[in-house]
Amino acid sequence: MKQNKPVFVTQPTLPPLDEFVPYLQQIWDNKILTNGGQFHQQLESALCEYLGVKYISLFTNGTIALVTALQALRVSGEVITTPYSFVATSHSLLWNGIKPVFVDIDPETLNIDPAKIEVAITPQTTAIMPVHCYGHPCDVDRIQKIADAYGLKVIYDAAHAFGVQYNGGSVLSFGDLSVLSFHATKVFNTFEGGAIVCPDAKTKLRIDHLKNFGFVDEVTVVAPGINGKMSEINAAFGLLQLKSIDEAIQKRRLIDERYRDGLANVKGIHCIPSAGGGSANYSYFPVLVGSEYPLSRDALYQKLRDNNIFARRYFYPLISNFPMYHSLPTAALSNLPVANKAANEVICLPIYTALEDDQVDSVTELIAKA
């Protein structure tokens, strides 16, 4: 197998340096490095237009955005969420003194199973925090019906869902708030960053106050906010990234298709169904390693690494199995059989714009011949 250089699960897309330098020069000349400078304002406007949303507030990262979203809606008590995610999802609850209530996931989409949500609601439940896992939209209609019936807030962890569509509109428009991550490994990135998508100007204003220590003006603080502002350098990088985002998603789509073709006849390797239809962003390429495959998931993972293919086991271990969560009643294995099974079978294969066809073929050939 020809594999001359390491292949990682994902890599950031970097614009040409000569395109970035003029932005740096403007930042230097303006002497405004943060606090809502011109590039910050431009990026918010550009993202609203591109994503088809009304209001967006930029953040220094997606985790601070999650923490702030919960504060903005004054969420407390218990929040129903998925254990199958990156730890920032549930960590944001603990940071706000909120008890996570885990429910199981759908075996096909690996998103939170709406059928499990209603039975988990108690008098202390105030919100639902689903995750659009790997960029696949949750069953937003069913989730909203449950939320409406019980008077619950819905905050979507949409870290993977940049640009994802649902029934002809942005999936980010569902729920009370949607939180994005612009980490370097995401489809759209600002080196490091995040955002909250919100439905109205009043909510955005509260979020903007909360991410700036609670300041309304120079001498007025109205809430115990945090420093969650995005810098001008990150915003400028985001403006450059936005210029080529459609080409990046198209490239990832072709890689996704090539993987599916190469793995179609490999017994025991199950590719998660693609959202497809122009609605996906191809954030990740997860496969489940079933019992019919001759190697265990971890053995295949090690074989890939031994061949310079640095795949990742997203999401393993399951959040509910970490020490700060496993004592929760809803973290019990018996409550989360599908999520635990997925966590023990999943491998995310490399997918990023610089990945070449022969590298994709090397990965599929290694898996097929194992």
Q: Which domains does the chain have, with CATH numbers?
A: 7-11+245-369 (3.90.1150.10), 17-243 (3.40.640.10)
Mean pLDDT by 10 residues, the chain (370 residues): 70 80 87 91 98 98 98 98 98 98 97 98 98 97 98 98 95 98 95 97 98 96 96 96 95 97 98 79 97 98 96 97 98 98 98 96 96
Helix (H, G, I), strand (E, B) or coil at 87: coil
Kindly report the pTM of this predicted structure. 0.95
Predicted local confidence at residue 276, as pLDDT: 63
35-68 CB burial, b ≥16 within 10 A, e <16: ebbebbeebbebbeeebebebbbbbbbbbbbbbb
CB of 365 within 8 A of CB of 263? no
Q: Give residue 6's pLDDT.
A: 85
Q: What is the pLDDT of residue 123?
A: 98
pLDDT of residue 1: 44
pLDDT at 114: 98
